[in-house]
Amino acid sequence: MTTTAQKLTFENYLVYDDGTDIQYELVDGELVPMSLGTGKHGNIILFLVRQFENIITQSGQSWVALPSLVGIRSPRGRRWDTSRIPDVTVLPLVQWDAMANREAVIDFNEPPPLLVVEVVSPSTQADDYRSKRAEYGLLEISEYWIVDPLAEKITVGLLDRAFYDLTEFQGEALIQSPVFPTLKLTAAQILAGKF
């Protein structure tokens, strides 16, 4: 569902304010409201952010894991702009700090995040598996997770020449992540989203 009849440029999107607390993605120049999702959807996001933050702290990496706080400008389309807001974004802390006094959006001239996660809901299923996968690959994001509580699986995409090689994990299979090699979580644990 889009909310504007008039197309927006990326610059207009960055300053857009309709007086509500609704968060929007920009897709081909149109504002697309992001739904809140279910409680389970939110639990999975918070669970992953906490798990990633624990590993980051233990490893001494200067990274940060953020829930739906960072936009990523996308190369989608030729005429109108697109900006995505992943459910979880992992990036260097210095990159996050650089956004302190500007819109929290990673632009084309900036390094891509280290890892992004999308948690599938019925309204985002096609975008998470197709559109975002293609866009994130073109942006050279090295690792892309699709956490799908509907299909009870997690798909981890590892970048290879702008395309993702995909591995699916279900049940008690341990997730394998080059960004987080010490991660010791099963697909079932992540999909449960319980602490």
Cα Dmax for the chain: 48
Q: Please report the pLDDT score of residue 94 as a whole number.
A: 97
| Chain segment 140-175, per-residue pLDDT in tens | 999 999 999 999 999 999 999 889 999 999 999 999
Tell me the domains of the chain and their CATH numbers: 37-73+84-192 (3.90.1570.10)
Average pLDDT value over all residues in the chain: 89
C-alpha 136 chain-centroid distance: 9
Confidence of residue 1 (pLDDT cuts 50, 70, 90): very low
Confidence of residue 185 (pLDDT cuts 50, 70, 90): very high
pLDDT over 90, % of the chain: 60
Confidence of residue 77 (pLDDT cuts 50, 70, 90): low
Residue 72 has pLDDT above 90, yes or no: yes
Residue with more model confidence, 121 or 77: 121
In sequence order, what DSSP letters do the residues of 43-81 get, joined into one string? HHHHHHHHHHHHHHHHHT--EEEEES--EEEE---SSS-
Residue 3 has pLDDT above 70, yes or no: no
Residue with more model confidence, 131 or 76: 131
Q: Please report the pLDDT score of residue 70 as a whole number.
A: 95
Whether 52 and 180 have beta carbons less than 8 Å apart is answered as yes
